[in-house]
Amino acid sequence: MWRSLTVLVAVSLLLLTGCSTPSTLERRHGYLVDHSHGAPSHGSRVRHLVIHYTSSGEARSLATLTGPHVSAHYVLPLPARRHDGEPLIYQLVDESRRAWHAGASAWRGRTHLNDTSIGIEIVNHGPDRSFAQVEAALEAAPEVALPIHWAPYPEAQIDALIRLARDIIERHGIHPTDVVAHSDIAPSRKIDPGPAFPWRTLYEAGIGVWPEAASVARYRARFAEVAPDTATLQRALAAWGYPIEISGEPNTPTRDVLRAFQMRFRPADYRGQPDAETAAILWALLERYHPEALEALTNHD
């Protein structure tokens, strides 16, 4: 009797759904969804990969990131761990969901990057002082190197990050220029992952961007003679992706953006001051990854 009833239910479902089979049906709360007609015209909503540090130890980081106010898709533990010979990574939010990691943010004309990004938090203490103290040190002694110690990123942790980032980038088709630091997309609020983060190592592993040395040298020689004025530098920073107003004034927001750029591409000196080397790196990046933006910048000049 029960077998006959089961067959009858299956036949009824087939009649209700045309050529659908039970394996294509999903029962939800009060209705059925038929997955037998899949559309090929779609793509990932994810356009950005954002790298953060937690600025605290693992237990506190996880408590914060699993609380009611902030989250991330992935967390890389410290110390780095392995399971069955592979790096262990925590996933807190499904990639299809919007994690709350970017906050007020912008990159290349897009805003609210929580909507279009995957966030990776790396357990790392960052600098040996608060963000406010880093800011105060920059303002108090902008002409000298800062005596700030930044926590290192262990090799095993970076190995785990490289594996994770490669996978995310491949699955979502993220452009190299859209692999960004939290400080890139919120330069006046954030400084993570900081100047100790090994961006060049990631680039050499096929993740993100880096300028060509010959191009940097060529532009450095050019700008040693005539440096770009503030408005031109601001336009170049905006062309690279930073949210910056073209004011022509060397104001605090411009310093914040320069600091973010230098932390990533010239970490030996991240005081946020314009100089020939910083401009050379920026122009070399535009030449390599956004030549159309560099051409527009040149035509504007």
User: Is 167 within 8 Å of 210 (Cβ atoms)?
Assistant: no
> Which residue has 């961007």 as its token pair?
209
Q: What phi, psi does 83 have (nearest 5°)?
A: -135, 125
Which amino acid belongs to residue 249?
Answer: E
The one catalytic residue among 26, 86, 95, 121: 121
* Cβ contacts of 239 within 8 Å, gap of 6 or more: 286, 290, 293, 294, 296, 297
The interaxial angle of helices 230-240 and 252-265, nearest 10 deg, is 60
Residue type, 176: P
Q: How far apart are CA 149 and CA 137, in angstroms?
A: 13
Is-catalytic flag, 135? Answer: no
β-pair partners for 25: 34
In angstroms, the Cα distances linking 269 to 21, 124, 194, 277, 279 are 63, 21, 12, 10, 13
Largest Cα separation within the chain, whole Å, is 93
- The 3 state secondary structure assigned to 151-189 is CCCCHHHHHHHHHHHHHHHHHHCCCHHHEEEHHHHCCCC
Rounded Cα gap, residues 264 and 261, in angstroms:
5
Rounded Cα gap, residues 244 and 187, in angstroms: 9
Closest CA to 190 of 246, 121, 96: 121
Catalytic residues: 121
